[in-house]
Structure 1
């Protein structure tokens, strides 16, 4: 595990948290909502995913079924639980996360990562799940290319395929599903995968860059995000998004990897713990923001004090429930699967 990247997961999750807090901040500071800096957290997650999938499969047997099983166990259970929680809240009479109506097709399409339009947006019942549709698509492409036995050739075809999807979407009109999966945002995975191949090729060698150059990459990545946070309409997944936020994510990942190779490791236990729980935090944060808004709204407090109180409560609840979800749901499921998979592999060897 590259510890610095766990800290980057924490930062990415917090960026998305504050992005979804922006409508509330905009009530107190009108116009601030146009700053979409926080949405770049998704691009950081996608670049990280591309990098990690390449690095974790380096010098291992190409087994597409096992690869997909690993990813499904990692991603699906907690996502299904959170989706069904939203369904239950709706059935009890509330309207969580903008779920104003609920059709049976919404449920099964959400659970099986089939894109559909709801209230004019391509998003499942758990709204942040739109990113998981792209994650699962990336995993499917990655697993299919495992038929290519030569590792670096496989990664070349992976990157080429993702660029080809996007290029086709720019020049040809597809049906809705193909148009959805040719979104330029999938190039974030390609950027991470390409750097992952570079990282693997240099295994056992000194870091390609020293600590000063690594810090420069990190600062440059942050600067790109801030400089492009408004006026570029990046949130709508146009081609500029991977060219700015995707590249920024790549700079951050590369800088943190090079820092760790030079012995500069972020070892604070709480930051690493939040990184481990970042997926759960990502899934629960929108609901926690909504609960906090309703709770503070009941007090009658308004204006700036309301914003501060809601923000603190939402961040606290997101952290608490995210860590609890990781500790009592995510981690036990993953541990049980790894234990069972280890036993199965040993029995097969004998």
Structure 2
């Protein structure tokens, strides 16, 4: 039986969206035992039954505006901290939260711990590719504001490993995000990273990729520093939201003819919306830790929670973290 520790109080719509997402997921995955950390009375409001669910009551939680490291150290009984502690103690196999991102990263690093040989775990999401059912994995998306070329080298190995073992992509293409495709383009960081990636036999490095080509499927894995990755992620997210808002406004302001046309295009518009929604792939993985640590958007709904649990199920089923540990023990990458 797989055991997932869930921070039921994390996120804008907690515990409602979190618990309702768990309810959806447990119907699909009867082999998961869910451990819900949070206010018991609040959690029970949204449960249809308690099969495969254990509630661990706590009144304390980490707020979105809490300073991450201080919160982890001072709020010992917060739902997120207790869930991370359960993973560290071997009482759960993975942790999932929609709460404070920085706090979850801190909990992952300081409570669960990183895999030996990995200097900087990276935050990775699977993002959409237009016209395809498979997306691309990108890291780092903000776990580290500053990176060295050696970190990007490790991210390429981590991302390739995840793409092969979890997403079943054979020989995934690895691209380095840059401001041009030429080898000589970019900052000192990307130029040095390019040399390291080009010399790495464990990955299928295809060179530099530009941001405008990401959603066209230029690579299966894209690596960059955390500052740039976070900016790109928010740009993609903002573009998708604004595009749908513009379409909606254009339809509303086009009169009867436009509204009739929208009825005929309804299915196509929903397809477009789904294509731009990266939450269908699950949450962001803090990859490089001793257990799966998964973060989803704070404003997430039940469906996105269920998708994230599906992702965690695949990670546990493929035993990707333990396999990664073995890989690094056999041939640990060079540290910076």
Whose relative contact order is higher, 1 or 2, with alpha carbons under 8 Å and at least 6 apart? 1
What TM-score, normalized to structure 2? 0.26
Q: Which structure's residues are more often helix, by fraction?
A: 1
Q: Which of the pair is proportionally richer in strand? A: 2
